[in-house]
Structure 1
């Protein structure tokens, strides 16, 4: 009995020279980073470091549990949650609008210009956006919400554009051949293919924005971050511990809700 060599699987391809060069380059950058930074690793494992860390952590115990203060923490938690949800919603809407030209549906010039705008939007961190917007919008959650929306719109716009580009063009082409308009063909053939991936990206960015919203208060953008900065600046460690616990619980709650929602969508 003869073996059909055509039916046998092809051997896996070997690593190309460009891939090896890229890996060696990344390894060299990591080694150079550790060699050039003045990292004092031994200082982490001395008795003085252990004693100082223990004293610092003991200063947070026990957390402040007064009803009036817990009420303030609850208001800050709701404010942080609202900032992240509204900022993510605005970013998703802007991302969908910008993803259409960024995916090349309106020509190469519009694609290049929109992608440059998206790159500029997401290259500026949320803290920098918040610092800029605080001058125009003043202290409070409004500037934080706009900062989250501006940064996240650049991220989601790029991800949405890539999702639209990766969809199969055949269903839309079939509808266009049978007389459907370009908009109808897009909404009935292309968009349904990308919707699950776009929703997954949006939920993931919401999880990130919860953490970012908790930090934006450090520059005065409201929420739990502003409370944390206030109490740490006054060395009120017990109150700061309660705020940190509220942050952890909020992030865990949103992560669990987002995970459950993504699983339900996949089913």
Structure 2
């Protein structure tokens, strides 16, 4: 009985690899041209980089890291720097999550009929916050906040506010509108609609974004110390400047362990949230 139906079926040929009407094809071609132009315009010394002399120099440099410095007094300093780096990243991310959520509300269109007058200026503010790297924020804040972890924490908070605010706004706008529309039809205001309909839907996504940015801020906090913002980065800049390679190896090992710990904790937390 199914043979006549199968005989009447028409089969389409696969689309061509490139079509003049295919926007994705033109985009891919333009991206390929940009990559080729980048390689052509940059003075990349591949022969020198892959030479035997460069490998020998790198080997001698790496050999200076062995053995790491394990003196108790120095390990105590490294532990304190590790705690400072962890605290800077955690507090900076927490402040950014709160500020990002506060800015995400005016930066998003809460429902189809929402005029959202503050959407454009708030998004411009978020763009400005995240367009300035953490290292530049720290260098600027050192003038007012002084040396130490306070400037690094504020730098992380300002940059991450711009990132999380934009991500939170996109998540709020893309939330399913059904529960909110049902509450609005009953005369419920926008504030309670957000708390009881929108927020419960997007909260796991917001938490996932926040944890991911915390992972990034651990690495950023380690780098911020280079400009005097405290933590492991400040120890790293000091001892590398004096060519204390054994101490530098210990600090780098502490950074690797800290990043691995936070990555594992964040991954486990995100898995619990998505269950």
Relative to 1, partners in 2 of residues 1:197 and 1:174: Cα closer, same or farther, differing over 3 Å?
same
Normalised to the residue count of structure 2, the TM-score between the two structures is 0.92
Which of 160, 164, 170 is the aligned partner of 2:168?
A: 160
Relative to 1, partners in 2 of residues 1:9 and 1:72: Cα closer, same or farther, differing over 3 Å?
farther
Which of 230, 238, 245 is the aligned partner of 2:238?
A: 230
Give the conservation status (yes or no) of the 8 Å contact 1:60–1:241: yes
Deviation of the 1:55 alpha carbon: 0.4
Task: Deviation per CA, 1:13-54: give whole Å up to 9, x if none.
Answer: 877432222111111111111111111101122221111011
> Which whole-Å CA distance do the structure 2 matches of 1:36 and 1:173 have between them?
54
Give the conservation status (yes or no) of the 8 Å contact 2:215–2:263: yes
Specify the SS of the correspondent of 1:180.
coil
Count the aligned residue pairs. Answer: 266
Give the conservation status (yes or no) of the 8 Å contact 1:104–1:110: no
Task: Deviation per CA, 1:146-191: give whole Å up to 9, x if none.
Answer: 0000000000000000000001111111112223332222111111
Give the conservation status (yes or no) of the 8 Å contact 2:240–2:248: yes
- Does 2:73 match 1:68? yes
Structure 2 stretches lacking a partner, 5+ long: none
Give the conservation status (yes or no) of the 8 Å contact 1:148–1:209: yes
Give the conservation status (yes or no) of the 8 Å contact 1:63–1:239: yes
Q: Which residue in 2 is equivalent to 1:196?
A: 204
Please list, as runs of the form range in 1=range in 2, the aligned pairs for 1:44-59 lying within 5 A after superposition.
44-59=49-64
Deviation of the 1:9 alpha carbon: 11
Relative to 1, partners in 2 of residues 1:178 and 1:10: Cα closer, same or farther, differing over 3 Å?
farther
- Does 2:246 match 1:242? no
Whichever structure has more helix as a proportion of its residues is: 1
Normalised to the residue count of structure 1, the TM-score between the two structures is 0.94
> Which whole-Å CA distance do the structure 2 matches of 1:69 and 1:199 have between them?
36
Relative to 1, partners in 2 of residues 1:8 and 1:200: Cα closer, same or farther, differing over 3 Å?
farther
- Does 2:34 match 1:29? yes
Please list, as runs of the form range in 1=range in 2, the aligned pairs for 1:34-113 lying within 5 A after superposition.
34-105=39-110, 107-113=115-121
- Does 2:212 match 1:210? no
Moved more, 19-28 or 118-127: 19-28
Give the conservation status (yes or no) of the 8 Å contact 1:101–1:107: no
Structure 1 stretches lacking a partner, 5+ long: none
RMSD across aligned positions (CA): 2.0
Task: Deviation per CA, 1:54-101: give whole Å up to 9, x if none.
Answer: 100000100000000000000000000000000000000000000001
Relative to 1, partners in 2 of residues 1:172 and 1:67: Cα closer, same or farther, differing over 3 Å?
same
